[in-house]
Structure 1
Amino acid sequence: MNEWWRGAVTYQIYPRSFQDSNNDGIGDLAGITERLPYVADLGVDAIWLSPIFTSPMLDMGYDVSNYTDIDPTFGTLADFEQLIARAHELGLKVIIDQVLSHSSSEHPFFKESRQNRTNPKADWYIWADPQHDGSPPNNWLSVFGGGAWQWDSRRHQYYLHNFLVEQPDFNFHNPAVQDWLLSTMRFWLERGVDGFRLDTVNFYFHDALLRSDPADFRRKEKPEWNPYSMQYHIFSKNQPENLVFLERMRALLDEFEARTMVGEMGEDHHPIRMMGEYTSGKRLHMCYSFEMLKDPFSAAHFRKLIDEFYTGAPHGWPCWAFSNHDVVRHATRWKQYGVSNEALAKQAGALLLSLQGSICIYEGEELGQTESDLEYSELTDPQGLRFWPENKGRDGCRTPMTWDANQPNAGFSSTKPWLPVKPEQVAHSAAQQADNPNSVLNFYKRMLRLRKASAPLKQGATHFFATQEPILAFKRGSDLLCVFNLSPTVQHVKLSGGQVTEVLLEAAQLVDGRLNLAGNGVALFQVTDEVAVSN
Structure 2
Amino acid sequence: MREWWRDAVIYQIYPRSFQDDNGDGVGDLKGITRRLDYVASLGVDAIWLSPFFTSPDKDMGYDVSDYTSVNALFGTIEDFDALMAKAHDLGLKVIIDQVLSHTSDQHPWFIESRTDKVNPKADWYVWADPQKDGTPPTNWPSVFGGSAWMFDARRRQYYMHNFLVSQPDLNFHNPQVVDALIEAMRFWLKRGVDGFRLDTVNFYVHDKKLRDNPASNWDQFPGNPYEAQTHLFSKTQPENIGVLKRIRTLMNEFDDRMLIGEVGEDGLRQVEVMGEYTSGGDKLHMAYSFAMLSHDHTPDHFRNCISEFLTKAPDGWPCWSFSNHDVQRHVTRWASAPELQNTVARQAINMLISFPGALGLYQGEELGQIETDIEFHELRDLGYIDFWPDNKGRDGCRTPMVWDASETHAGFSTGEPWLPVKAPQITRAVAGQETKPDSILAAYRTALEFRKQRDELRYGDTKFPSVPDPILAVSRSLNGTVLTGVFNLSGDVQIVDLAANTKQIGEAHGSISGTQLTLPAFGFAFFETQRGLSAVEV
**One fold, TM greater than 0.5?**
yes
Looking at structure 1, the residues matched to 454 and 339 of structure 2 have their Cα atoms a distance apart, in angstroms, of 29
The answer for the alignment partner of 1:166 in structure 2 is 166
| Residue of structure 2 in register with 1:521 after alignment | 523
My pick for the range that moved more, 521-530 or 280-289, is 521-530
Query: What is the rounded CA distance, in whole Å, between the counterparts of 1:116 and 1:383 in structure 2?
Result: 29
Matched with 1:464 is 464
Retained in 2: the 8 A contact 1:337–1:487? no
Paired residues of 1:64 and 1:107 also in contact (CA < 8 A)? yes
Residue 279 (str. 1) matches residue 278 (str. 2): yes
Aligned residue for 2:7, secondary structure, equals coil
**Corresponding position: 1:531 with 2:534:** yes
The answer to whether the 8 A contact 2:144-2:163 is kept is: yes
- Name the CA distance, whole Å, in 2 between partners of 1:122 and 1:108: 12
* Equivalent residues in 2 for 1:409-488, closer than 5 Å: 409-477=409-477, 478-488=481-491
The answer to whether the 8 Å contact 2:472/2:486 transfers is yes
The 5 Å alignment of 1:238-277 reads 238-269=236-267, 270-277=269-276
> 1:25·1:414 contact (CA, 8 Å) conserved in 2?
yes
Amino acid at match of 1:483: V
Q: Distance in 1 between matches of 2:534 and 2:390?
A: 48
What do residues 260-311 of structure 1 show as CA deviations (whole Å, max 9, x unaligned)?
Answer: 1111101115111111001111110111111100121111111111111101
SS in 2 for 1:33: helix
Cα displacement (A) at 1:504 = 1.8
1:234 corresponds to = 232
Paired residue secondary structure (1:336): coil
Structure 1 residues 369-408: Cα deviation after superposition (integer angstroms, max 9, x where no partner):
0000010000010133221011000000000001111111
Aligned match for 2:503, one of 501, 504, 517: 501
Question: CA offsets, 1:6-41, max 9 Å, x none?
Answer: 011000000000000000000000000000000000
Q: Is the 8 A contact 2:528 2:535 kept in 1?
A: no
Report the counterpart of residue 19 of structure 1 in structure 2.
19
8 Å Cα contact 1:369/1:425 also seen in 2: yes
- Code of the aligned partner of 2:273: M
The 5 Å alignment of 1:128-167 reads 128-167=128-167
Distance 1:210 1:80, change over 3 A: same
> Residue 321 of structure 1 aligns with which residue?
321
Equivalent AA in structure 2 for residue 273 of structure 1: E
Paired residues of 2:403 and 2:430 also in contact (CA < 8 A): yes
Q: C-alpha displacement at 1:531, in angstroms?
A: 3.3
449-458 vs 51-60, which moves further: 449-458
How far the C-alpha of 1:513 sits from its partner, in A, is 1.6
SS in 2 for 1:496: coil
Match of 1:223 among 221, 224, 228: 221
- Amino acid corresponding to residue 369 of structure 2 in structure 1: Q
Structural mapping, 1:9-158, within 5 Å: 9-158=9-158
Alignment of 1:389-408 (within 5 A): 389-408=389-408
Q: Partner letter of residue 60 of structure 2?
A: M
Q: Assess if the C-alpha contact under 8 Å between 1:339 and 1:520 holds in 2.
A: no
Query: Is 2:363 the partner of 1:378?
Result: no
1:452-500 deviation line (CA, Å, top 9, x unaligned): 2221111211111110111111211242111111122221111124x33
Structure 1 position 364 matched with structure 2 position 364: yes
> Which amino acid is 1:486 matched to?
L
The AA in structure 1 aligned to 2:498 is L
Give 1:339 shift: 5.6
Structure 1 residue 532 displacement after superposition: 5.1
Query: Which secondary structure does the structure 1 equivalent of 2:226 belong to?
Result: helix
> Structure 2 length normalisation: TM-score?
0.97
C-alpha distance in 2 between matches for 1:110 and 1:2: 42
Determine the C-alpha separation between the residues in 2 that align with 1:417 and 1:200.
Answer: 28
CA contact (8 A) 1:339 1:488 kept: no
Which string of whole-angstrom CA distances, capped at 9 and with x for unpartnered residues, describes residues 52-75 of structure 1?
100000000000000000000000
Contact 2:488/2:521 (CA < 8 Å) preserved in 1? yes
2:212 corresponding residue in structure 1? 212
Superposition pairs of residues 269-348 of structure 1, within 5 angstroms: 269=267, 270-281=269-280, 282-336=282-336, 340-348=340-348
Q: Cα offset for 1:437? A: 0.6
Q: 3-state SS of the aligned residue for 2:4?
A: coil
| Amino acid of the structure 1 residue aligned with 2:453 | A
Tell whether the 8 Å contact from 2:12 to 2:50 is kept in structure 1 after alignment.
yes
Q: Distance in 2 between matches of 1:501 and 1:190?
A: 49
Q: Displacement of 1:85 after TM fit?
A: 0.3
Residue 17 of structure 1 aligns with an amino acid whose one-letter code is S
Shift in Å at residue 505 of structure 1?
Answer: 3.4
Q: Give the whole-Å Cα distance in 1 for the aligned partners of 2:535 and 2:53.
A: 52
Residue 191 of structure 2 corresponds to which residue in structure 1?
191
The aligned amino acid for 1:8 is A
Describe the superposition over 1:217-244 as per-residue Cα deviations: whole angstroms up to 9, x where unpaired.
Answer: x2x1222111001111111111001011
In structure 2, C-alpha distance between the alignment counterparts of 1:167 and 1:25, rounded to whole Å: 26
Q: What is the identity, as a one-letter code, of the residue corresponding to 1:489?
A: D
Unaligned runs of 5+ in 2: none
Q: Deviations over 1:187-222 (max 9, x none)?
A: 000001000110000000011111111111x2x122
Which has the larger displacement, 193-202 or 331-340?
A: 331-340
Aligned residue type for 2:515:
G
Q: Distance in 1 between matches of 2:505 and 2:337?
A: 24
Q: For 1:406-461, what per-residue CA distance to the aligned partner results, in whole angstroms no more than 9, with x for missing partners? A: 11111000111000000010011111000111000000000011112221111211
Q: Deviations over 1:83-131 (max 9, x none)?
A: 0000000000000000000000000010001001111111111111111
1:296-354 CA distance string (max 9 Å, x none):
11111111111111011111111101000000000100111786211110001110121
Secondary structure of the 1:479 match is strand
Amino acid at match of 2:288: Y
Letter in 2 for 1:496: A
Runs of 4+ in structure 1 deviating by more than 6 angstroms, as ranges, are none
Hey, what's the Cα distance between the residues in 1 that align with 2:171 and 2:467?
49
SS at 1:202 equivalent: helix
Structure 1 residues 395 and 68, CA gap change in structure 2 (3 angstroms): same
Per the TM alignment, residue 533 of structure 1 is displaced from its structure 2 partner at its CA by 1.4
- Contact kept? 1:384, 1:391, Cα under 8 Å: yes
Distance 2:484 2:214 in 1: 45
Q: Equivalents in 1 of 2:308, 2:338: separation in Å?
A: 27
Could you tell me whether the CA contact under 8 Å between 1:338 and 1:487 is conserved in 2? Answer: no
Distance 1:378 1:94 in 2: 32
| Alpha carbons 1:20, 1:26 under 8 Å: kept | yes
Whole-angstrom distance in 2 between the partners of 1:454 and 1:189: 33
1:248 counterpart letter in structure 2: R
Residues 154-209 of structure 1: per-residue CA shift (max 9 Å, x gap): 11111111111100010110111011101111100000100011000000001111
- Contact 1:110–1:125, Cα closer than 8 Å, also in 2: yes
Q: Secondary structure at the match of 2:209?
A: coil
Alpha carbons 1:368, 1:440 under 8 Å: kept: yes
